[in-house]
Structure 1
Amino acid sequence: MSSHRAVVDTVDDELIDAAPAGTELVAVDRDQHLSPETVAANEESVAASPPRRAYGADRAAFAAWCAQEGRTAVPASGETMAEWVQHPTVTPRKRTGAPTGPSTIERAMAAVTSWHEE
């Protein structure tokens, strides 16, 4: 026997039951709910986006730097973040030989910050 779950709305603390008999009812606040279709569409679009790939590379670089320096990546202390942000401003990049620019550092900071929030 297969089990079915249905999402039902609450209105004035009453369940609105529109599910077939035998279906498990789960009350959801609609303002705090995304449909499975919306979740899937968001995950698909974000996973393939260039910023998402860049964030992944930034997070990996941060984790590698932390490991090399004997620091904890997540959760990172404020001191670790400050040291890490300073590091690319004085370290030549392999490809260009120049230090990392401000916009790239800002993106990397956003990647690591969002990693902590996740």
Structure 2
Amino acid sequence: MLVVKKGSGIDLIAAERERQVSAEGWTPEHNDDHDAGEIAGAASAYTLSAACLLNPYHGTPLNEPPEGWQWDASWWKPNMGDNPARDLAKSGALSAAEIDRMDRLERPW
């Protein structure tokens, strides 16, 4: 498991992306099969989870996947309250994976 430490955001995102590939098997080839916005949607879901934790009026994690989550609920693994940076690192890594997937398509956006 990735231990979130003090460091730059880009370092945390890069470490999470490496974990996604090495521990979960979410390789570029695997990601190429997800071409309906699933990866971008997952990134936004983890950003929303962090925002809920940071909001002084909400301050609680999303225990259930948000509406629009395109995978089984068992894949929803937000930080449960002590470090919203963990969810932001997941979001950033998923965003990077989606950008890389789109770049491999070699078409202009």
**TM-score (normalised: structure 2):** 0.32
**TM-score (normalised: structure 1):** 0.30
**Structure with the bigger percentage of strand:** 1
